[in-house]
């Protein structure tokens, strides 16, 4: 009979070789002999975490940490698991314990920095990142986190430099590579060709580091009663992507399509459960290796594999490099090309991607009729109150977009609008404004352009979706950002009776507003230069009676528009899938 120490040593060797099932068998055998052994429990937490069973991992780590309170490694893994599930405050407390025990434990300091940034204290996150880099210039994750802190403050060029530095230190750091590409979409001075070229560099980088590690047979379409559609996302939850994919999953014709969702989610929520109930097959891929997910996709005989992330956070794009499905499509989560020639199609529409845009995509653009979006409003939406201008005596403009979208050019134009509409005010609501230093920075930019501070209101994160939406009852006109438009924020404004003025740009990221407003029947709200953008906003502001009437009918117009017609949209999407399927069957 093996001793506990022998079993534990063998299990640790198996973990190092990523043989987690074998390790778990050995650990369970050891646990029968010594149920109170913290090291066994800790290793069981590691195997559970590595197998995607996050809740089991947390429980093992918790008990191990109770039995060995002074072990920084156990505490670190416990806090890391909590971080994955969004328990930020609890995780931060435990990371603090780790750093009390071991002040030079840089990985713990780095993850603390991530949490501080997520919670909105961006200046502190920036400070911590810089201290990590001072201590260890080779710690690549700190450059990425510093880039995130800069990005969230709207310091796009500084963020880009940080991501590039991370890639200098570690050329195969795919997270930093995707963050760099996402950040380029926010930049005010990068032309489409430059951005496209950077995406091609990502492809070369990922091929260099990934292409020889997995070998799979070339997939082919097999004749089946249903077309197998597989959606991959980390955002089947309360997230912008979740709001737009949910009506599609619910309305798929299950007689003709078998719908698989590959969910990279640590903490499911109510949206997750609703989506899950409407799938033919639900696959949890959280924390699974690429080869494990690829095996699932091949076994499920997926005909059309759909990426819903692009280069946004927690993407699984490397999987698409290996072509585990005969047809691969990117959709919804990212406003640009993936850079992968193994990605066959990109779903879009004629408003977001006019005919002259094809050259900037490695994918073939498939333009859906009307808008490429299908919006499902959240439950429990607040009532629309009367136009604020009627009781305030002045017009209030507003923007609730992500702060990286509010750049120097946007501020300049918004300042001109405020000057064109005397006594008007502006509300900007965005999570980074939880940080008072960030608020001060943006307020000063308006003051330098002649706008008094009293005309500006900055607000941070709201704890609930309903409270967030209620803020629209404080604004009369929403101003879209450019060159990166809003998407969910534009739909939410219309839902709350607030018209949105948008500026159509040269790329998809800057044309989503045009797509949404055209679908809702408001193409006149789209400007094609800043002069006309200012004119539309000021004209609306000078007609309070017309603005009040527009407010009363906007929600109904949105809900009755093609944008919210889930059945119509899904039938059009299925037609696109069938066209792709039939084409590849003939090839």
CA-to-CA distance for 221 and 582, rounded, in angstroms? Answer: 10
Residue-wise pLDDT tens digits, 221-238: 888 899 999 999 999 998
The H or E element spanning position 529 is: none
pLDDT at 208 > cutoff 90: no
Q: In which residue ranges of the chain is CATH 3.40.50.11380 found?
A: 227-374+566-586
287: alpha, beta or left? (left if phi > 0; alpha if psi -120 to 50): left
Name the CATH topology of 1-103: 1.25.40
DSSP structure string for 162-228: HHHHHHHH-TT-HHHHHHHHHHHTT-SS--HHHHHHHHHHHHHHHHHHHTTT---PPP-----SSEE
User: The tokens 């299908």 sit on which residue?
Assistant: 374
Q: What are phi and psi of 501, to 5 degrees?
A: -100, 125
**pLDDT the model gives residue 212:** 47
pLDDT over 80 at 549, yes or no: yes
User: Residues spanned by CATH 1.25.40.10 within the chain?
Assistant: 1-103
Query: Per residue in 236-291, pLDDT tens?
Result: 998 889 999 999 999 999 999 999 999 999 989 999 999 999 999 999 999 898 99
Q: 348 pairs with which residues across the strands? A: 367
Give the closest residue to 522 by CA, choosing from 556, 542, 499.
Answer: 499
DSSP state of 422: T
Q: What are 491-545's pLDDT values in tens digits?
A: 999 999 999 999 999 999 999 999 999 999 999 999 999 999 999 999 999 999 9
Domain ranges in the chain with CATH number 3.40.50.2000: 388-564
Residue-level pLDDT at 1: 47
* pLDDT surpassing 50 at residue 41: yes
Can you tell me the distance from the alpha carbon of 167 to that of 173, in angstroms, rounded to the nearest whole number?
A: 6
pLDDT in tens, 456-498: 999 999 989 999 999 999 999 999 999 999 999 999 999 999 9
Q: Which CATH superfamily is domain 388-564 in?
A: Glycogen Phosphorylase B; (3.40.50.2000)
To the nearest whole percent, how much of the chain has pLDDT over 70?
98
Strand partners, 519: none
In this model, does residue 205 exceed pLDDT 80?
A: no
pLDDT in tens, 421-455: 999 999 999 999 999 999 999 999 999 999 999 99
* Tokens representing residue 204 in the block: 């070369």
Q: What is the pLDDT of residue 224?
A: 86
Single pTM value for the model: 0.94
Percent of the chain with pLDDT over 90: 89
CB 145 within 8 A of CB 125: yes
C-alpha closest to that of 366 among 195, 572, 221, 194: 572
pLDDT at 210 over 60: no
Helices and strands: H and E segment counts in the chain: 25, 13
pLDDT tens digits along 68-126? 999 999 999 999 999 999 999 999 999 999 999 999 999 999 999 999 999 989 999 99
Say if residue 586's pLDDT is above 80: no
CA-to-CA distance for 290 and 305, rounded, in angstroms? 14
Three-state secondary structure call for residue 306? strand
- Architecture of the structural domain at 227-374+566-586: 3-Layer(aba) Sandwich (3.40)
List pLDDT tens digits, range 559-578. Answer: 999 999 999 999 999 999 99
pLDDT at 214: 63
Q: Which of 31-45, 203-217, 354-368, 395-409 has the lowest mean pLDDT?
A: 203-217
* Mean confidence (pLDDT) of the chain: 94
215, pLDDT greater than 80: no
């Amino acid at each position: 009979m093996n001793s506990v120490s022998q079993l534990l040593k063998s299990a640790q060797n198996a973990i190092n070789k990523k043989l987690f099932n074998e390790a778990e068998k050995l650990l369970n055998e050891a646990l029968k002999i010594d149920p109170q052994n913290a090291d066994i429990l800790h290793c069981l937490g590691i195997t559970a975490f590595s197998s995607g069973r996050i809740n089991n991992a947390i429980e093992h780590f918790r008990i191990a940490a109770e039995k060995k309170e002074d072990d920084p490694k156990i505490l670190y893994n416990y806090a890391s698991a909590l971080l994955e599930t969004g328990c930020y405050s609890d995780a931060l407390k435990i990371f603090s314990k780790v750093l009390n025990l071991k002040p030079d434990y840089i990985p713990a300091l780095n993850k603390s920095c991530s949490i501080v940034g997520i919670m909105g204290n961006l200046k502190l996150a920036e400070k911590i990142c810089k201290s990590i880099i001072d201590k260890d210039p080779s710690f690549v994750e700190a450059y990425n986190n510093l880039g995130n802190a800069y990005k969230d403050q709207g310091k796009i060029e500084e963020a880009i430099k940080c991501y590039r530095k991370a890639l200098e230190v570690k050329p195969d750091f795919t997270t930093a590579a995707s963050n760099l590409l996402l950040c380029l979409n926010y930049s005010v001075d990068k032309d489409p060709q430059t951005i496209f070229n950077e995406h091609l560099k990502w492809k070369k980088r990922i091929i260099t580091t990934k292409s020889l590690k997995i070998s799979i047979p070339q997939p082919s379409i097999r004749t089946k009663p249903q077309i197998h559609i597989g959606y991959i996302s980390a955002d089947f939850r309360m997230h912008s992507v979740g709001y737009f994919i949910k009506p599609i999953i619910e309305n798929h014709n299950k007689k003709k399509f078998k719908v698989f969702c590959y969910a990279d989610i640590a903490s499911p929520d109510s949206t997750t459960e609703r989506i899950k109930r409407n799938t033919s097959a639900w696959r949890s891929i959280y924390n699974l290796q690429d080869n494990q997910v690829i095996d699932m996709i091949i076994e499920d005989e997926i005909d059309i594999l759909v990426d819903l992330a692009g280069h946004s956070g927690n993407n699984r794009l490397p999987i698409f490099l290996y072509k585990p499905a005969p047809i691969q499509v990117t959709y919804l989560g990212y406003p640009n090309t993936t850079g992968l020639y193994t990605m066959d199609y990109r779903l879009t529409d004629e408003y977001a991607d006019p005919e002259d845009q094809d050259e900037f995509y490695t994918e073939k653009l498939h333009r859906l009729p009307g808008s490429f979006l299908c919006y499902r409003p959240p439950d429990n939406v607040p009532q629309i109150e009367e136009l604020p201008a009627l009781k305030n005596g002045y017009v209030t403009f507003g923007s609730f977009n992500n702060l990286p979208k509010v750049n120097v050019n946007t501020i300049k134009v918004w300042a001109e609008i405020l000057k064109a509409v005397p006594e008007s005010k502006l509300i900007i609501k965005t999570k980074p404004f939880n940080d008072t230093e960030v608020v001060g920075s943006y307020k000063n930019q308006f003051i330098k352009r002649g706008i008094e501070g009293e005309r500006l209101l900055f607000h941070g994160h709201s704890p609930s979706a309903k409270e967030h939406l209620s803020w629209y009852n404080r604004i009369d006109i929403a101003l879209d950002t450019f060159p990166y438009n809003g998407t969910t924020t534009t739909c939410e404004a219309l839902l709350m009776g607030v018209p949105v003025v948008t500026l159509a740009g040269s790329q998809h990221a800057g044309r989503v507003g045009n797509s949404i407003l055209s679908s809702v029947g408001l193409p006149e709200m789209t400007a094609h230069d800043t002069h006309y953008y200012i004119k539309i906003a000021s004209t609306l502001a000078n007609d309070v009676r017309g603005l009040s009437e527009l407010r009363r009918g906007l929600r109904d117009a949105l809900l009755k528009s093609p944008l919210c017609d889930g059945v119509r949209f899904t039938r059009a999407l299925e037609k696109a899938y069938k066209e792709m399927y039939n084409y590849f069957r003939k090839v």
